[in-house]
Amino acid sequence: MGVKAIDALREIWNGFDFGGVQQMLMRVIPALLCITLHELSHGAVAYALGDDTAKKAGRLTLNPIKHLDPMGLLMMVIFGFGYAKPVPVNMLKFKNPKRGMAVTALAGPGSNVLIAVVFLFLYGLLTPALYGSAAGKVALEMLGMTASLSMAMAIFNILPIPPLDGSKVVFSLLPEEAYWKLMQYERYGFVVLLVLLYSGVIDGPLMWLLEKGIDLLDPVLRGGFELGKLIF
């Protein structure tokens, strides 16, 4: 079996019957995991930097219901790109509000990249042991889908369009006056984002970025596969 990362994940992605209940559940479960750890990372980093807003709101939890945005989850399940209910952050509690906000914003996509790395490694590691059985193939599909969805979530959220995480990073590079002015209009960016998504304008660039991102992780999959052959 080939172990090139993008080929393996594309095979899983294209092989899904999105109309089937079982296949839909196999997307929902990985999506919930990716969303939960993404938002938990935001809250945990904000708390470490001095902002306890997320903690007081009960968002430093692994309970996916606390982080769930129904529309964002539906978009992840249908389109592969989506979002969660934003963790509340009071940037004025940071010693350096702009830098603290940027670091907090980066924590979400960063956690998704880490999830992709871990699950892609597990996919390669367990392939020699599981690929021969039907149940094993289902387990591998779950691992591969989790890696793919998590990388997709990282790429989507790093786009510099409010209210996505990437906009907070880009805005932090602006002068103070421009920064605070743009932050006031952040909520309007969501409308722009929805238009871009439903028009399909950014579908091609997003999928291209996803493929390139997974390609970069090919050594991780290959390393797991080689180790799996030695163990199993």
Cβ burial, residue 140 (10 Å; 0-12/13-18/19+): buried
Which of 118, 102, 95 lies closest to 37 in space, CA to CA? 118
For 197-218, letters b (16+ CB in 10 Å) and e give beeeebeeebeebbeebbeebb
Question: CB–CB of 16/27 below 8 Å?
Answer: yes
Active-site hit among 39, 141, 186, 211: 39
Half-sphere exposure of 60 (CA within 13 A, CB side): 13
Cβ atoms < 10 Å from Cβ of 224: 23
Tokens 């779950």 sit on residue: 142
186 included as an active-site residue: no
Q: Known catalytic residues? A: 39
